[in-house]
A and B are shown apart, each in its own frame.
Chain A
Amino acid sequence: MENLRLWIDYIWGNVSTFLFDADTPGHKLLLMLVAIALFVVVMGAILLAVDKPKRIPNWVVTLGFAGPAVIALAFGLLYPALRTVYASFLNRNGTAVVGLDNYVRAFTEPAFQVVLRNTALWVLLVPTLATLTGLIYAVLVDRTRFEKAAKVLIFLPMAISLVGASIIWRFVYEVRGGSQQQTGLLNQLIVMFGGEPYQFLINSPWNTLFLLVVLIWIQAGFAMTILSAAIKAIPDDIVEAATLDGLSGIKMFRYITVPSIRPALVVVLTTIAMTTLKVFDIVRTMTGGQFNTSVVANEFYQQSFVRGDFGMGAALAVILFVIVIPIIVYNVRQLRLSEEIR
């Protein structure tokens, strides 16, 4: 008996080192393959178990198919979300109930008010400007010879990580003092036209605008793709009738194109708004939230994982969630409206 215990300890020791302590490239890659294989075996076993069409009751089959997803979501999304709502009423390490204190702080302390103001700026400006750019560009290149290549150019930033994009733009905003030559493109242009070098990322409140340019740069491609498809779906006869009535150029855009793609516009605006709310990579990489540039998503990370104030972090996460709700409601209502018209 004693021997068996020793053996089990020995084997488990090796297995857990393999599973939880990968540090060489070979080990990591092998672990990855093992994890995938393990997953395949488990799922295969579940499917094999329910693959008896006649003898197995329907609910067991359903459980086999939908069970893993439902369990994962309950464990990883639903339950933690409820825990977080609860934690937002507790103090920094969850040892005492503080009621609404965290929320009161989030809305009254000046530092947090700046964060809320910035978040509002992001959510208002990024969706509108990204959609506008995407729409204008989609209309301009629609059915031109170079349409495909032109679209790829705008589209490509979507493949770049927000960290990568932030680095790209930090280089554009780069500023150098004194008599040194400017290495940032924008400051070079300013100096060329006789201006003084400008600290794009430091001078508040304008620096927030320069930060959100990065997200506009990324999201315009998304807007363009969806809107371009919507524009191509406008029935020919409508366009032809409008042309016969003498509409063209900006009037065509204003009276035919925009009203026809209204549902797609709403979807694009709301989707980008929701993405914008959750983005924290840009602020973190460009300024680290300094110089009055922080947003709720970044402040959540700061409070939770840097300052260790879990109550405040939870409250900020809940605020983030609550801001999303009106956007969704608007989205759903607009979709319903457009379906009624049809």
Chain B
Amino acid sequence: MSDFNKQASSLKLIFGWRVGAFLKLLSLIVILIATLLYYLSMNPSMSHRSDSVIAIQPQGDVANGAYLARISGCIACHTDTKNPSGLVSGAPLKSSFGVFYAPNLSADKEWGIGNWSLADFSTAVREGVSPTGEHYYPAFPYEFFSNFSDQDIRDLWAAFQSVPANAKRAQSSEIDFPYNLKFSLPLWKRLYQLDNSVNTDQLQLQRGQFLVEVAGHCAACHTPRNILGALQQDQWLQGVIANEGGAPPITKEALLLNGWDSADLAYAFKTGIKPDGDVFGAKMQEIIEQGTQFMSEADRLAMADYLLEIE
């Protein structure tokens, strides 16, 4: 074996462990220690359910809810286009932590969300906790959706109640060890809570911010994650390398460097066509086809302006 190959092999081993196994063990140790510390420091009376109660009035707007569900990816993620039936189960979402399947969101009382209340829905979407107190994995982007307003939630709820019941059990997610240890999720959520607030008094940028940082959750793909799957907030929208999911940087600097202007971005969100005539493939094309193409022109421009304005 050449010296080069020997060096390459030694890089793959740490104390005789393969790097993947070593990282998993490290993750497990971190999770166990952190969970222990969390439970030791936790106030015994603390509930995993939020006490916030959403007012039932005013009524939700089904049309706006359907629009939000579309542009937020609810419909895309909870529908398998190869086996389309109303929001019963998503296509497999493969990640380095395992394979996630989005659950049944139809009005079925057993397998769907037919037995939920508006408050249950609000807690699930904005806090990532099910009516039975189970914490969801962040494959469901509740960390972004926490900034949906009460009225957004009422609108979404009204729209979801229009989905016919479909009594079909969604496939269970297949999460690798140690990430399948769900007891650590409350701590994970506390440690990695997003702080993506941007203060702007311009209405156009506020709308863009809502679309990019909340509904569109662009950072979920365009921001790198650490070994525990948390977004690295100091590298917001700075892109993800190919073998970790592959998404280009979409910071203001990167977009300007690549020659994008606001009109180009808005047109690409509508058609998938880039300024040089190339056409998006991969995941971005799905986002466009199932989400941004249905946005109003004003919203597409608001997203583009926000991406090109915010430092």
B is a partner of A: no
